[in-house]
Structure 1
Amino acid sequence: MPKTHTRNGGRAARRAARAAPLAAHLRPIRPGMSGGTYTPLTPTDQDNIHHTALEALEQIGLADAPATGVAYLTGAGAVLGDDGRIRFPRALVEDTLARANRSVTLMGRDPRHDLDLSGARVHYGTAGAAVHLVDADGRQYRECGVRDLHDAARIADTLDNIHFLQRPMVCRDITDTLEMDLNSIYACAAGTTKHIGTSFSQPQSVRHGLEMLHMIAGGENAWRARPFISNSNCFVVPPMKFATEACEVMEACIEGGMPVLLLSAGMAGATAPSTVAGAIVQAVAECLAGLVYVNAICPGHPAVFGTWPFGLDLRTGAMTGGSGEQALLTAGCAQMHRYYDLPGGAAAGIADAKLPDMQAGWEQMCSNVMAGLAGLNMVYEAAGMHASLLGFCHESLILGNDLIGQAMRCVRGIEVTQDTLALDQIRAVCLEGPGHYLGTQHTLGRMEQDHVYPVLGDRTSPKEWDELGKPDLIAKATARKVQILEHRAAARFDSALDAQLRGRFNIHLPA
């Protein structure tokens, strides 16, 4: 009997072609693609938000700056009132905006992971301070520890669409705050060579953290030349108050050459106005005050304008990180970053859902897509976060890689050229060819450059799905997690450096 050619053979060939890695410049998506096509605020809206923020700074100001902060700010031209609040003259803010650093690159230990924050370039990554790890298989929550944080870093290091790792959970198994801060740095840096964000619980922790980073970098000069960790700093306690101790941490980090994320995280309806516009105004005002603070300490120091207002369910008081309002808050903030032409970051991709289920899918995709389309430079908390930031899930981080891939394809948009308009293809297929585009040179030549294919997402037919044993998405993510964690992290330090770090610091992660 003659051999019959079936569609399965063609499908196998296409799958083999997709398995071959593409050169970086041919990939359909990559870190730092430019967004900015989504603009929920009109130019007049942006002007009004800006001027209202300036009025708030000039008339209301911020309370509770540390003594050092008062000295820096009044030395720059801010005014300390009899009520203890520091007010910011409009000219001071405008002068700061004129000279702020707009050429910020957040560096990785591996230069190929450097993040250019200019314009509307978009990068997705993790963040947060979850206190629980989500066991997707057992459908339960448990307290997370340093090994879980290290595993998250190891997983993120292997995922193409996770561009940076800000510490997503707290090491609840380490009670001493200094040791927790230092072990958080170690666990992240030993897991990934991508850029890392971390926090310090108290000012005195900073010098010890910098000592560790100098050792990892190969000396203080090497660290200052390429600082691969930034400080996520909640320098304000909304509404309109400085967080005294966090400001002291920020001052120490700036002195140590560490980039800072100026993070204002008001809750709309509780610690920020309940309206989307009002919450954005307050976040912008607080971050403008932070920008003046940073530049008063060190003009031109690299800082990320971190407007992070969150939504609130006014019926219950619960956070609504997965809501449409949250997506609008983040997109509006991204637009204000572009208004100022400042490197900016905000939160998206948060799920209020407790597990990686359908609710988590719609919540994570909605805000991630809108943040990317709005041109947000740093999309924090984009993958893995559940229960309104209380839980972090390794499987969800892995699935988030697929989700963000689709979001990045939306960011890339539609290219309209003579080639993509495809008139020659239409003519050839309709007048000279088989009447379809399957297998044509143009289709095969562009299938990898134009299309993003999910790693774990299932696009099989029901028949194929049944023949494959009805694979479950969470089970596939768990299997991928196990596969990644079977291997030692590529970012782990060499034995000599690791011995030095363990000799100097109390490292809780097993060697």
Structure 2
Amino acid sequence: MKNHTRYRRLSERECQKLHWASLEILERTGARLHHQPAIDLLKKAGASVSDGNRVRIPSTLVENALNTAPSEITLYNRHGEPVIPIEGFRSFFGTGSDCLHILDHRTGERRQPLLQDVVEGMTLCDALPNIDFVMGMFLPEDVPRMTADRYVMETMLHFTTKPIIFVTTDLAGCVDAVEMAEVVVGGPQALQQKPLTACYINVTSGLQHNEEALQKILYLSGKGLPSTYIPVALGGATAPITLAGNMAIWNAGCLVGLVLSQLNRPGAPFITSGWGASALDMRTTVSPYVEPEKQFIAQELAHFYDLPMFAFGGFSDSKLADQQASLEAALTLMTNVLSGSHLVHDLGYLESGLTGSLVQLAICNELISWIKEALRPVEINDETLALDVIDKVGPDGHFLDNEHTLAHFRDRWYPTLIDHNNYEGWIAKGGQDLGQRAAARVTHILAEHTPEPLSPDIQKRLREIVQRAAVQ
């Protein structure tokens, strides 16, 4: 959706101060990089290296990278159609990945997920109109753990035509995922020109860059494929507890990925993080997802840099798809749209990212529909003002049987899950709460919707890649 109403929490001056702070961290403190080719690349460009892998990056490398990184990236669907133009203040929505549990929509049971749950999740995403891209949702327990990412990638490619953001355990999984996507779209050049996929790269922290993350950013940028680079910054643990210090160290980590991608291949598509400054709840040591403190800030920096961003919302720290889950999903979706977040993932997450729920995902789809309508530009013209109609009906008439009403009543927003009945009408339809209605809709979609299948030949080639990884 294109946002016409933007809220700003930080001024340009405040963004500049955070940027300067991140540059000072990189030049003065430096970061540890656990991959020699990445260290060598930075050293050759002018970074200093001490203590084996502690790299200090001069600000000129950051500024150069900001000048070469593209400000716009487009993701395509399976048919090669441009469906996610990442630019300006447009927001697109998708799921998350790798939940360790699923809240079963049929039984309400919290259990370990299976590959069939990924199949059903993709089928649901394929049918929901406000889900723009997909991620793997669940970490299935019934396939080999070390190659589970290949099974999930195969499932995503088969059960939806929508763009995919994939997560892999290591570089080998990333290479296999890219190969699968190339098989589906027609080869490496076709994938580079019209990317169906992007990779979500997890980084240990702002100042600790793990080998797998560095390997992936070099591999993907070298191929000219889009990827995110997302360091963790936990206030009170891996970053200062203060909001500004937390954001500065997290942003410094993002800039490390940016510099590496652009040194490796100037102009490589890079997606920065649209969130940061998470902190431990010092009462429980849990890292909650839905914190009000960090809202809007990372998005401001992404817009300050004019970079595409990977944000998150539509989730909850609740353990159930209950009132808390709905209000936290609504708040985080609205803050993301108002801040102009680009790729908003983790819809359907519960329990601070440990559990996924198809019911919660269906509710998020409804919430997005509401938000889109609430922020849609108002059409004001002679037809919509209806002054002649008002004059004709006058103060003593009504508009129920007026032709103008007949012509325009469908222009209003009508919900699919939110209840607008009176009490008697609600009782007549079963007296269900929102969670029950959402569960019923999930069941209906899974029974009725059939995603467009891949050709038998492509299915066979994807299966060969998965099996090849399983025997290595």
- The two structures have a TM-score, normalised by structure 2, of 0.91
Q: Is the 8 Å Cα contact of residues 191 and 491 (structure 1) preserved in structure 2?
A: yes
Q: What displacement does 1:458 show?
A: 1.0
Distance 2:97 2:403 in 1: 46
Q: What does the per-residue CA deviation read over 1:304-349, in whole Å, with 9 as the maximum and x for residues that have no partner? A: 1114323432211112212323xxx242111111111111122222
Between 272-281 and 338-347, the greater mean CA deviation after superposition: 272-281
Number of the residue aligned with 1:374: 339
5+ residue gaps, structure 1, are: 1-31
Q: What displacement does 1:502 show?
A: 2.9
Number of the residue aligned with 1:14: none
* Secondary structure of 1:324 counterpart: coil
Q: Is the 8 Å Cα contact of residues 126 and 166 (structure 1) preserved in structure 2?
A: yes
Query: What does 1:48-87 correspond to in 2, within 5 Å?
Result: 48-82=17-51, 84-87=53-56
Root mean square deviation, CA, Å: 2.6
- The two structures have a TM-score, normalised by structure 1, of 0.85
Query: What does 1:112-123 correspond to in 2, within 5 Å?
Result: 112=81, 114-123=83-92
Number of the residue aligned with 1:19: none
* Secondary structure of 2:30 counterpart: coil
Distance 1:168 1:469, change over 3 A: closer
Q: Is the 8 Å Cα contact of residues 127 and 449 (structure 2) preserved in structure 1?
A: no
Letter in 2 for 1:404: I
Q: What does the per-residue CA deviation read over 1:405-428, in whole Å, with 9 as the maximum and x for residues that have no partner? A: 12233443x537455993836963
Distance 1:202 1:461, change over 3 A: same
Q: What displacement does 1:438 show?
A: 4.9
Q: What displacement does 1:246 show?
A: 1.9
* Secondary structure of 1:166 counterpart: coil
Distance 1:198 1:452 in 2: 34
Number of the residue aligned with 1:452: 413
Number of the residue aligned with 1:20: none
5+ residue gaps, structure 2, are: none
Number of the residue aligned with 2:161: 193
Does residue 213 of the first structure (1) align with residue 175 of the second (2)?
no
* Secondary structure of 2:165 counterpart: strand
Q: Is the 8 Å Cα contact of residues 227 and 257 (structure 1) preserved in structure 2?
A: no
Number of the residue aligned with 1:25: none
Q: Is the 8 Å Cα contact of residues 373 and 410 (structure 1) preserved in structure 2?
A: no
Of 379, 385, 399, the match for 1:422: 385
Number of the residue aligned with 2:304: 339
Query: What does 1:80-479 correspond to in 2, within 5 Å?
Result: 80-82=49-51, 84-112=53-81, 114-177=83-146, 179-234=147-202, 236-309=203-276, 310-325=278-293, 329-381=294-346, 383-412=347-376, 414-415=377-378, 417-418=380-381, 422=385, 424=387, 428=391, 432=394, 434=396, 438=400, 445-449=407-411, 451-479=412-440
Between 314-323 and 182-191, the greater mean CA deviation after superposition: 314-323
Between 163-172 and 213-222, the greater mean CA deviation after superposition: 213-222
Q: What does the per-residue CA deviation read over 1:214-241, in whole Å, with 9 as the maximum and x for residues that have no partner? A: 222223332233221111001x322411
Q: What displacement does 1:74 show?
A: 2.1
* Secondary structure of 2:208 counterpart: coil
Q: What displacement does 1:361 show?
A: 0.8
Between 153-162 and 72-81, the greater mean CA deviation after superposition: 72-81
Distance 1:439 1:50, change over 3 A: farther
Distance 1:421 1:277 in 2: 47
Distance 1:395 1:129 in 2: 17
Q: What displacement does 1:300 show?
A: 0.9
Q: What does the per-residue CA deviation read over 1:118-163, in whole Å, with 9 as the maximum and x for residues that have no partner? A: 1111111111321101124533211112211121111011111111
* Secondary structure of 1:115 counterpart: strand
* Secondary structure of 2:266 counterpart: coil
Distance 1:102 1:262 in 2: 15
Identity of aligned residues (%): 26
Number of the residue aligned with 1:3: none
Letter in 2 for 1:408: K
Number of the residue aligned with 1:18: none
Q: What displacement does 1:457 show?
A: 1.4
Distance 1:74 1:477, change over 3 A: same
Q: Is the 8 Å Cα contact of residues 218 and 260 (structure 2) preserved in structure 1?
A: no
Q: Is the 8 Å Cα contact of residues 95 and 134 (structure 2) preserved in structure 1?
A: yes
Q: What displacement does 1:70 show?
A: 0.8
Letter in 2 for 1:246: A
* Secondary structure of 1:92 counterpart: helix
Distance 1:502 1:255, change over 3 A: same
Distance 1:425 1:341 in 2: 47
Letter in 2 for 1:299: P
Q: What does the per-residue CA deviation read over 1:268-288, in whole Å, with 9 as the maximum and x for residues that have no partner? A: 332233233333222222111
Distance 1:277 1:215, change over 3 A: same
Aligned length: 468
Distance 1:56 1:459, change over 3 A: same
Q: What displacement does 1:371 show?
A: 0.8
Letter in 2 for 1:272: A
Distance 1:37 1:425 in 2: 35
Distance 1:271 1:444 in 2: 60
* Secondary structure of 1:409 counterpart: helix
Distance 1:100 1:472, change over 3 A: same
Distance 1:440 1:332 in 2: 49
Number of the residue aligned with 2:454: 493
* Secondary structure of 1:133 counterpart: strand
* Secondary structure of 1:270 counterpart: coil
Distance 1:153 1:294 in 2: 31
Distance 1:379 1:452 in 2: 23
Q: What does the per-residue CA deviation read over 1:197-256, in whole Å, with 9 as the maximum and x for residues that have no partner? A: 11121122333333322222223332233221111001x322411112221122223334
Distance 1:206 1:457, change over 3 A: same
Q: What does the per-residue CA deviation read over 1:44-93, in whole Å, with 9 as the maximum and x for residues that have no partner? A: 22221122112112211211241010122223332223463212212221
Distance 1:489 1:68, change over 3 A: farther
Q: Is the 8 Å Cα contact of residues 217 and 257 (structure 2) preserved in structure 1?
A: no
Number of the residue aligned with 1:12: none
